[in-house]
Copies of this chain bind each other. A is one copy, B any other.
């Protein structure tokens, strides 16, 4: 095998482990799922799973990494806007897109609060939110502004309260909620 083929195969194995893990977490809960269960599901040895993810928590974090990358990109996009109103709109729309695209994962998390708790404990979201508040409101955001930006992250959980909503409508409802929440001044 060429190095390129091998790297592509490793990437695919990692993605397969992540998908199987999320499905098992959803089905029987995070605490009740072992790395052995995930290996069994895929017909891999436990050693093969360990090679990619030394612990269940690191596996969970790896599932979250793409979310942090997208939040970071949303903040960069907002920073490039020329007015506060446009920065607020960019954050609201970016957040709504992200939340709706991760809807299945969020529903899994909402159904398993223990996993949700473990994920939050390992989260880099706090640092990202502090950066978002500075980008939108400048270097000294007020308490109202800080609280509102923090609230964006928890707003994504509420989407599981509206399972019957089509993605496009869910996106608009979320975006409107963030735009109301974030103070203009």
| Chain A residues engaging chain B, CB cutoff 8 angstroms | 112-121, 143-144, 146-148, 150-151, 154-155, 157-159, 161-162, 165, 169-170, 173-174, 176-177, 180-181, 183
23 contacts between A and B (CB under 8 A): A112-B117, A113-B119, A113-B120, A113-B121, A114-B114, A114-B118, A116-B117, A116-B120, A117-B117, A143-B162, A143-B165, A143-B169, A143-B173, A144-B173, A144-B176, A144-B177, A146-B162, A147-B159, A148-B177, A151-B151, A151-B154, A151-B181, A154-B158
Least CB separation from A142: chain B residue? B173
A112: chain B residues within 8 A (beta carbon): 117
A169: chain B residues within 8 A (beta carbon): 143
* B147/A162 in contact, CB under 8 A: yes
- Complex Cα distance, B120 from A113, in Å, reads 7
- Complex Cα distance, B117 from A159, in Å, reads 17
* A174/B147 in contact, CB under 8 A: yes
Closest 4 CB pairs of A and B: A117-B117, A113-B117, A154-B154, A150-B158
Most buried by B among A116, A119, A143: A143
Least CB separation from A120: chain B residue? B113
